[in-house]
Amino acid sequence: MNQDVPSMHSAYTKAKMAALYKVACRWSSGTCVFRRPALYSPRNLYSSDSSTPIEGQGETESQQPVAEKPKSGFAVAYELHSDLRQQQQQQDSGPSPSRVSSTTTRDETSFASLLRHSPLVQMGPAKDKIVLGKIFHVVGDDLYIDFGAKFHCVCKRPSTDGDKYQRGTRVRLRLEDLELTSRFLGATTDTTLLEAEAHLLGLAGEAKPKA
């Protein structure tokens, strides 16, 4: 076991450890909480081989290069180990849509990342959520309001301040459903109304009384 340790760590130079520490700091400022224990003590990734389990508190950097040989590819090895660790944690905690693969969770502009941070997903279930919408079409007393989802909603013009609701007006809505669908008897797929459902609460620009 002891013989394995120097050969494992022989790959790392001080510069590489510094780079690792920079990468680790960037990651710790990200979203995944479960990685923090790994960041503080990188050597614990190879926990079965670690003979000197020192908790990384800034001393890991200086103590590591004592038994290390210069070699390239450390970053790849670290990534590989963190992937394995993440897969292990995935199996423990069960699948979740945000952790598709390690590379996409790292890349801030990946689709998974964009989706996870989008307001529609952060909102959760649509029932009884207050959102802001904008009227984009008016037909008599029907107001077609778009609030940022796939479909628009259609609301009746309210009796109070009725003439203020014109095309382009911003309004407040309480959502019921993002898409009105239902499976009827004898049908193979749902029938959809291509509309969302919401209650109109009022205009968005109303001044709130200051406390």
Partner 1 sequence: MAAGMLTKAICGLRCPRFAAAALSCSSQSYSTAALPKAVLTPSDNTADQNKLLNVPLSHPDFFRVSELFSLKDLFDARVHLGHKKGCRHRLMEPYLFGSRLDTDVIDLEQTVPHLQQALNFTAHVAFRGGIILFVSRYRQFGHLVERTARECGEYAHTRYWQGGLLTNATIQYGPGVRLPDLIIFLSTLNNVFQTHVAIRDAAKMNIPTVGVVDTNCNPSLITYPVPANDDTPAAMELYCRLFKVTINRAKDKRKQLELLKGLGPSTTSS
Check residue 197 for interaction with partner 1 (CB under 8 A): no
Backbone angle region of 29, left / alpha / beta, with phi > 0 → left and psi within -120 to 50 → alpha? alpha
Q: What is the DSSP code string of 25-62?
A: HHHHTSS-STTHHHHH-GGGGGTTT-SS----SS-HHH
Min dist. Cβ of residue 62 to partner 1 (A): 42
Check residue 194 for interaction with partner 1 (CB under 8 A): yes
Check residue 89 for interaction with partner 1 (CB under 8 A): no
Instruction: Please return the burial class of 106, using the count of CB atoms within 10 Å of its CB with bins 0-12, 13-18 and 19+.
Output: middle
> Alpha carbon 179 to chain centroid distance?
23
Instruction: Please return the burial class of 166, using the count of CB atoms within 10 Å of its CB with bins 0-12, 13-18 and 19+.
Output: exposed
Check residue 151 for interaction with partner 1 (CB under 8 A): yes
Check residue 6 for interaction with partner 1 (CB under 8 A): no
Min dist. Cβ of residue 76 to partner 1 (A): 23
Check residue 109 for interaction with partner 1 (CB under 8 A): yes
Min dist. Cβ of residue 109 to partner 1 (A): 7
Among 124, 168, 186, 209, binds partner 1 (CB under 8 A): 124
Alpha-carbon distance of 73 to 112, in angstroms, equals 28
Among 26, 183, 199, 205, binds partner 1 (CB under 8 A): 183
Segment near partner 1 (CB under 8 A); pick from 14-22, 23-31, 36-44, 148-156: 148-156
How many C-beta atoms surround the C-beta of residue 183 within 10 A? 10
Judged by the rule CB under 8 A, the positions of this chain that interact with partner 1 are: 97, 109-112, 114-115, 118, 120-121, 124-126, 136, 146, 148-151, 178-179, 181, 183, 189-192, 194
